[in-house]
Amino acid sequence: MKKKRIFTMVLISSICFLLFTSMLNTTASAAYVYTDSQNVDNSTQETAFQLTENTIYDSLRLFPKRESSCFLESTGDAGWYKVNLSEGTKTLTIYAPYVTVTATVFNSEKSKVYENKFGKSLKRQGKFDVSNAGTYYIRISSDDEITEKVAYTMLVGAPDYTTKTYTKSLSTTKLTTYSRYSSIQTFDLSNVSSIPDSAIVKTISLGGTETNKYNASGKTRSICVYGKSWYRSTGPSIFEVDMFNATTPTPLKQKWQFQHYATSVTDSYSLKPSIIFTYMCENNY
């Protein structure tokens, strides 16, 4: 009787161990997202992890809605995500530095609307059109052999933005004791090929080369979008205008105007303007 009880206990222990090992193996082979200090299994469409659509407002404020802790555990894994998208052209940004992944986007009716590969030597961004607002699913998989977990990040909606500069030099204008306002100079950046179409103005530095700089005081330099209100900066040497507005951004590729003046001029004073636009644009990497 005693031997039978011992055998029963051993059998139960063995079964429990096998069940535990099976659970570990199942968990280890599943794709997941690490969030709130826990692993969230997203290996099926039914367990798809909820993403938030990234907006241009998020990107311009440099707080994009990026999911940074996504993992594939082994060969053949797939990670599923769902996101509510508005109508329009969307950008899918995936950074997968260790493995090449395939991203497939489905609509709520399970029809494929987009597919592309992302990886070490490939572009991080791809665009697709959303004709009907609603829930969309994104499946991430890989044909590479995966022997240990690999991480990737993803962002969908508006693209990442980065900061760049563009410098525009203007003609020299002269102020005198009797003419303390310069002429207005108009320049058009609409067709400058080196400026991305997505460029949005952040700040403008109104510098330049001065002649007889100490002959003028109360200096003011002004700039505006053609036909719009002036932005003015007053100072002895540093002139900068902050035009950044994430809600109603100002495009760089358009027509602009510049003017400068001084409250007092002794004899004459000249300025050859050098205008530095600091702008944000789509990070096309």
pLDDT tens, position by position, 231-285: 999 988 889 999 998 889 999 999 999 999 999 999 999 999 999 999 999 987 7
**Partners of 117 in the beta sheet?**
102
Q: Is the per-residue pLDDT at 22 higher than 70?
A: no
Mean pLDDT of the chain: 88
Give 14 or 180, the one with higher predicted confidence.
180
Category of 7 on φ-ψ map: left (φ > 0), alpha (ψ -120 to 50) or beta: alpha
User: What is the model's pLDDT at position 7?
Assistant: 39
CA 55 to the chain's CA centroid: 9
Q: What is the mean pLDDT of residues 56-72?
A: 92
Distances (CA, A) of 30 to 72, 106, 255: 7, 21, 54
Residue-wise pLDDT tens digits, 69-123: 899 999 999 999 999 999 999 999 999 999 999 999 999 999 999 999 999 889 9
More confident position, 28 or 35? 35
Residue ranges and CATH numbers for the domains of the chain are 30-159 (2.60.120.380), 162-282 (2.60.120.260)
Task: Return the closest-CA partner of residue 98 out of 140, 152, 138.
Answer: 152
Q: Report the alpha-carbon distance of residue 46 to residue 44 in Å, rounded.
A: 5
Is the pLDDT at 181 greater than 90? The verdict is: yes
- Judged against a pLDDT cut of 90, whether residue 177 lies above it is answered with yes
Q: Pick from 231, 279, 228, 226: which is nearest to 256 by CA? A: 226
pLDDT in tens, 85-100: 999 999 999 999 999 9
Residues 6+ apart with CB under 8 A from 221: 206, 232, 233, 239, 258, 259, 260, 273
3-state secondary structure of 275: strand
Query: Other CB atoms closer than 10 Å to residue 181's CB: what's the count?
Result: 13
